[in-house]
Amino acid sequence: MTAPLHGREAIVNLFRIECARATMVCEVEQILEDGEWAVLEWRDPLGLRGCGFFRVRDGRIVFQRGYFDQLSFFRQQGLAVPDRYLG
């Protein structure tokens, strides 16, 4: 689980770190939209699936939350599983 991020710099740093340690591909399954809210359902070529929820105001994302199986992701990418995931 990742703690909530606040601010553009924190978000950029997270993506910089995470994209450097694994090969990530997101293929869009579907996008649903209702007013300020949008939902993205995705998959990757290796079988991982997930979804993201976005609240958009004035053309900017003001809230985002995503769900996927991090344990499967770590194993799929050959990354060490943090001890906190196994305890």
How does DSSP assign 35-46, residue by residue?
TTEEEEEEE-TT
Tokens of 74: 């770590």
Please give the Cα distance from 1 to 33 (Å, whole number): 26
Mean residue pLDDT of the chain comes to 85
Q: Given a cut of 70, is residue 2 above it in pLDDT?
A: no
- The CATH number given to 25-77 is 3.10.450.50
34/4: higher pLDDT: 34
Please give the model's pTM, rounded to 2 decimal places. 0.67
| Per-residue pLDDT, 1 | 52
State pLDDT tens for residues 42-83. Answer: 998 888 889 999 999 999 989 989 898 877 877 887 888 877
